[in-house]
Amino acid sequence: MAAVTIPPSSPTQSRKKSNIVTGISQDLLSRKLSSSNLHLAGPPKFDLESYIQNYKGRTRLERLLLIGSCSSFLGVDAYKAAVHEAKHGKDIKRYLEAQTPLETIAPQEPEAVRDTQWMDQQSKLNEIQTASLEKQLKEYKNNLVKESIRMGNEDLGKHYQEIGDLPKAFEAYSRMRADAASQKHIIEVSKHLIEVSIEQRNWIGVTSNVQKIKQIQATPDEERSLQPYLCTADGLALMDSGGYYSAALAFLRTDAGMGSSYNTFISPNDVAVYGGLCALASMERSELNRSVLENSNFRTYLELEPNIRRAITFFVNSRYTACLNILESYYSDYLLDIHLQKHVDQLYQLIRSKSIVQYFIPFSCVTLSSLNEAFAAPGKTVDKELVQMIQRKELDARIDTQNRVLTSVSSSSRATLHNEALKTAKEYEREARRRIQHMNIVSADLELKGGKARGSQMGQMGGMDDLFSEGMGGGRELRSRAYIG
């Protein structure tokens, strides 16, 4: 099995340890990843060249930079590729981001030398183009031709996006909406905005624009071509907010045959990985089987990532250890993905605890050693993790440290119900008493008075209002409130 290539075979503890060895502190892992500090030493399973071939546009650069900053194995290559990529574009900031680290990690490479000439030239060029596009737009506005204004804004937006000024690009694209004449235009506006928002990690922007497109009554043809786009964009946004179940549903809904049409932000492989991991982390076994493995649409994506399919199959077949091993072996790959990086730890944690819970379900009592065998790395134990899971109420069980077993909690429903009933009765009694107490205090005119003295008549009324505004039950009280009100 492929899992053997990377040493930490599964548990979180051991993985964290290996991370410490490679210089990552724990809190970095806890989702506050500032990518520049993360370093993965091991070789990932993918080939950089073919990986980046999957994408088009600015996301290529972004992905290369992330890999460069996070992987010491691929770092130099990724930065070098990024430098080339950047020089084909117009974004000087990105060029510097790619070139500067090279100065320190690989100063001997030709790409490490800062090409100031290109930078000057390009920045002048950018300025000129910005000015001319703005001017053009102004002229269009003077002529009051809607279509030209729209096109002008679009051109400007594209330009800003290319030079890396995303807020301005977002603004320019947003302005297009005012002059959108047809449904096609509206869809275009939203698509532009979604793309910019994804790069800005502005997920609210993504969701709202996805909603806007959904509201449009498109032709069946258009709808078919838009469906995967909307699902994947929605899925990304949901995944980022931590709604893994909804994200999984969004990815799983994605129609087959998306191809490389949306490779400015997502590739079909990504759909398989994101959808698969989110589903694994949030769905029960039967649901996984039904909506992932037997989902003919999603199967076309899963075929691109056989490891995910294998992991899910193992999980469905209750072979949790095998499933976790596969995932573990791809851990570093997923850490190099721009969207997954933030979530991979949490997703893995969820999958792990779910596996333990599922493993435990058929038993009333399991020895800790068998759990260790299934879930812990050699020489490690799952004890601490179990304690945490029980405390988080994910696992309804108790640990017996003497006989080293985990026992499930047998509940006596009759006694529980009786106790509940007694508790409810007691609460009712207490509550009712307090209400009576309050009513009588108020009717004896004994309530606490504020500093300001009011007329006696007003005071009386205020008192009554207080009494009733506390939400006394009972018909009579409500009635009298109605009279007073």
Partner 1 sequence: MDSLLPQLLAFPPHPSPQPPLSDSAYDEGIKAQISTLRKSSEKTLRQQTSGGESPLDVINPALNTVPYTFILIAYMSAYSKHGQKVIKLESLWDKITIYLETFDARQMRYLGPEFIDVCDRAASISTNAGQRALCIAPIRDALLRLNPSGSVLTGLHIYLIKYALETRSYGVIAPIVEKPVLYYPGANDQLKPKYLCDLSLSPAAYITINSGFLSKLKSLDIMEYFYNSGMIMIGLRRWEDALDCLESVITYPAKEGAVSKVMIEAYKKWALVSILAEGKLLTLPKTTSSSAAKSYHVLAKPYEAVAQIFETGTASRLKAECDYSSSLWQKDSNLGLILQILNAYQRFQIRNLGKVYSKISIPELLNLTMSAETGNKLSGPNEMEALIRNMIQDGSLMATLSNPPGQPAVLAFDNKGPILTEAQMKAEFAAAAARISRVTQNIKQTDHMLTHEKEYIAHMKKQKASMSKFGTHDQGIGGEMDWNVMDDEELMTGVY
User: Residue 400 interacts with partner 1 (CB under 8 A)?
Assistant: yes
Distance from chain centroid for Cα 425: 44
Q: Which is nearer to partner 1, 335 or 406 (CB)?
A: 406
User: Residue 4 interacts with partner 1 (CB under 8 A)?
Assistant: no
Which amino acid, one-letter code, is at 246?
S
Q: Which is nearer to partner 1, 182 or 401 (CB)?
A: 401
- SS3 readout for 6-50: CCCCCCHHHHHHHHHHCCCCHHHHCCCCCHHHCCECCCCCCCHHH
According to CB under 8 A, which one of 50, 182, 412, 413 is a site residue for partner 1? 412
User: Residue 341 interacts with partner 1 (CB under 8 A)?
Assistant: no
Report DSSP state, residue 406.
Answer: E
| Minimum CB–partner distance for residue 372 and partner 1 (Å) | 17
User: Residue 476 interacts with partner 1 (CB under 8 A)?
Assistant: yes
Do the Cβ atoms of 215 and 223 come closer than 8 Å? no
User: Residue 384 interacts with partner 1 (CB under 8 A)?
Assistant: no
Return the range that interacts with partner 1 (CB under 8 A); candidates 4-12, 60-68, 287-295, 409-417.
Answer: 409-417
Q: CA–CA separation, 389 vs 384, rounded Å?
A: 9
With H, G, I as helix, E, B as strand and everything else as coil, classify residue 397: strand
According to CB under 8 A, which one of 26, 215, 401, 413 is a site residue for partner 1? 401
Q: Which is nearer to partner 1, 89 or 463 (CB)?
A: 463
Size of the site for partner 1 (CB under 8 A): 64
According to CB under 8 A, which one of 132, 143, 261, 460 is a site residue for partner 1? 460
Q: Which is nearer to partner 1, 47 or 400 (CB)?
A: 400
Q: Which of residues 75-94 bind partner 1 (CB under 8 A)?
A: none
According to CB under 8 A, which one of 144, 415, 455, 456 is a site residue for partner 1? 415
How many Cβ atoms sit within 10 Å of the Cβ of residue 14?
Answer: 18
Return the range that interacts with partner 1 (CB under 8 A); candidates 124-132, 167-175, 230-238, 470-478.
Answer: 470-478
Q: What does the DSSP assignment read for 298-336?
A: HHHHHTT-HHHHHHHHHHHTT-HHHHHHHHHHTHHHHHT
Do the Cβ atoms of 80 and 74 come closer than 8 Å? no
Look-up of token digits 């922007």? 205
User: What sign for the dihedral angle of Cα 11, 16, 19, 20?
Assistant: negative
Partners of 71 in the β-ladder: 40
Return the range that interacts with partner 1 (CB under 8 A); candidates 131-139, 148-156, 332-340, 422-430.
Answer: 422-430
User: Residue 402 interacts with partner 1 (CB under 8 A)?
Assistant: yes
User: Residue 34 interacts with partner 1 (CB under 8 A)?
Assistant: no
Q: Where do the H-state alpha helices sit in 201-305?
A: 203-215, 220-240, 244-253, 268-282, 285-288, 296-302
User: Residue 445 interacts with partner 1 (CB under 8 A)?
Assistant: yes
| Minimum CB–partner distance for residue 433 and partner 1 (Å) | 5
Q: Which is nearer to partner 1, 17 or 434 (CB)?
A: 434
Report DSSP state, residue 3.
Answer: G
CA distances from 40 to 9, 24, 72 (A): 16, 9, 6
Binding site for partner 1 (CB under 8 A): 387, 390-391, 398-403, 407, 409, 412, 415, 418, 421-422, 425-426, 428-452, 459-460, 462-464, 466-467, 470-471, 474-485
